[in-house]
Amino acid sequence: MPSIDLPSIVTVLVAASLALHVPTYLRGTDLSFHTGLANFPSPFSSPVRAPHEISPQRTKLFGDPNDGLLGDPFNGEEDYVCDTTFRAVRIVNRDPLVMYIEGFLRKGEPEWIISKANPLLARSSVVDVDDDPTEKRNATSLYRTSSTAFLTRSGDRILRCIESRASTFTGVPVRNTEGLQVTYYKEGQEYKPHWDYFPREFASMGEQLKRGGQRVTTLFAYLNTVPLPASFTGAPNSAFPASYTPPDEPPRPRAQLIGAGATQFPDLGVEVFPVKGAAAMWWDVGLKGEDDPR
């Protein structure tokens, strides 16, 4: 029997293994997928597993694992879990009532809303109070320079869950609410001070009030965090907007409001800053349904 040393045996085994594997890679079969960085697997590694076992973990399409929101990222409606809870609530102003809701949107929901809104965005419009009451027309104006998308009411189970969460918080049944609207602001765009309610002082608003009723509350959720200006010297944190007027302090002058994408209530000296997933909720009218211009 010829004498064969161990290095020769190893060399033969390696050569035989590569000879078997190279045709597989050239054909591009499932065996060519491998989690390692090398182009070829080691001939001494464990046997190749089935393709579904060695496929790399897919990144979820909706949701940032590190954004601090409750819940888990998801790929779509099939693995989305509806939850109508939220993290924390803080009263920003008592009269009129303005509240800040931390973590109102759950992980992945901001990204889902954006994906649905993007194809529908168009220049935002304003209601012309001088229109004929029987024929309301919307018009564009430098007073409001953003873009808006109107999402289909209960368009999918994710939007339905968000609508239900808003209804749970406000106490207003979903059937008595408007569909979700998404507003997109580029840098420098704005909506100057305005009312969300329909002012009764204008005769043309009467038809609107008969058709759909008055807007009683607004719930405004934020899909992104807007950085504060470098000149701001306060101490913002993720749990609450960086600047507000406590209920027992007098309103701040308008000149002291920071802006930076905030939702402002100039007459109250109050502003709420955009933090991803958070929301602001306020009453548009008084307790008796009267207009409240503040």
pLDDT of residue 123: 85
Q: Count other C-beta atoms under 10 Å from residue 70's C-beta.
A: 15
Examine residue 70 and state whether it is found in any structural domain, yes or no.
Answer: no
Same domain? For 143 and 17 the reply is no
The amino acid occupying position 78 is E
Tens digit of pLDDT for each residue in 221-254?
Answer: 999 998 776 666 554 433 344 444 444 555 444 4
Q: How far is CA 92 from the centre of its chain?
A: 22
CB 160 within 8 A of CB 154: yes
Same domain? For 152 and 212 the reply is yes
Same domain? For 249 and 154 the reply is yes
Same domain? For 17 and 134 the reply is no
Same domain? For 136 and 251 the reply is yes
Examine residue 177 and state whether it is found in any structural domain, yes or no.
Answer: yes
Say if residue 183's pLDDT is above 60.
Answer: yes
Same domain? For 90 and 50 the reply is no
CB 281 within 8 A of CB 218: yes
CATH number of 241's domain: 2.60.120.620
Residue 108's domain comprises 77-283
Same domain? For 160 and 191 the reply is yes
Q: Give the number of domains in the chain.
A: 2
Strands (E), 40-108: 88-93, 98-102
Tens digit of pLDDT for each residue in 122-161?
Answer: 888 776 655 555 555 567 777 777 888 999 888 899 999 9
Same domain? For 17 and 84 the reply is no
Q: Count other C-beta atoms under 10 Å from residue 108's C-beta.
A: 25
CB 170 within 8 A of CB 281: yes
Say if residue 44's pLDDT is above 60.
Answer: no
Same domain? For 176 and 35 the reply is no
